[in-house]
Amino acid sequence: MKWRAGMEEIQEKKREIRKDLIKTLEGMPEAVVAERTKAIENRLFEFANFLEANITLLYVSTKHEVGTREILKRSFEYGKIVVLPAFEMKHFKMKLLKVDDLKSSLISGPRGVMEPDGQQCKKVPIDCIDIAIIPGIVFDEKGARIGSGSGFYDRLIPKLPITTRKVALSMEEQIISQIPMESHDKHVDIIVTDKRIIYKI
């Protein structure tokens, strides 16, 4: 019972951190968010691990994640194989699907976010992913993250090959001193912000 109470306390702290950060993000002027997002994008496309990766797992951003629209477009221009997740809500699973065209390959998914159409996009084995760009709302310098709370990426990260770099995109405002972690929570290796690249301590 003590263990359960401790877990509930951590979950509550994480909910508070997520809520506070969302409030901060929503209070930021659009022009500032756009400027920070562009800086992150440019830093990512100067980052050797990303440039050298051929098969790249990306994501279609939700409201409180770093925007990926331009990153997706540029990835195609750089000749990358772009892989996006399709979400299966019932079993908390993700299918990794190769996307050839952003306009014709995406449909509205169960989370209200565009995702690959399973009818026309081919499945990509998880072992083939060279680099995985992992979304999140809050991070710390040790690579801990708080996402939407659904746990999809905490399930995905351990399945990725050990050689696959797990990289997050974050504005400096989304980095806090410490995130309380539960046993099932997974870290990212690297965080690309608008000001720096953070390697997990």
Q: What are phi and psi of 155, to 5 degrees?
A: -80, -35
- pTM for this predicted structure: 0.91
pLDDT of residue 51: 97
Per-residue confidence band for 149, with pLDDT thresholds at 50, 70 and 90: confident
C-alpha 21/C-alpha 32 separation (Å) is 16
CA–centroid distance for 81 within its chain: 17
Q: Which CATH number fits domain 2-98+124-199: 3.30.70.1290, 3.40.50.150, 3.40.50.10420, 3.20.20.140?
A: 3.40.50.10420
Structural domain boundaries of the chain?
Answer: 2-98+124-199
pLDDT of residue 46: 97
- Check pLDDT > 60 for residue 3: no
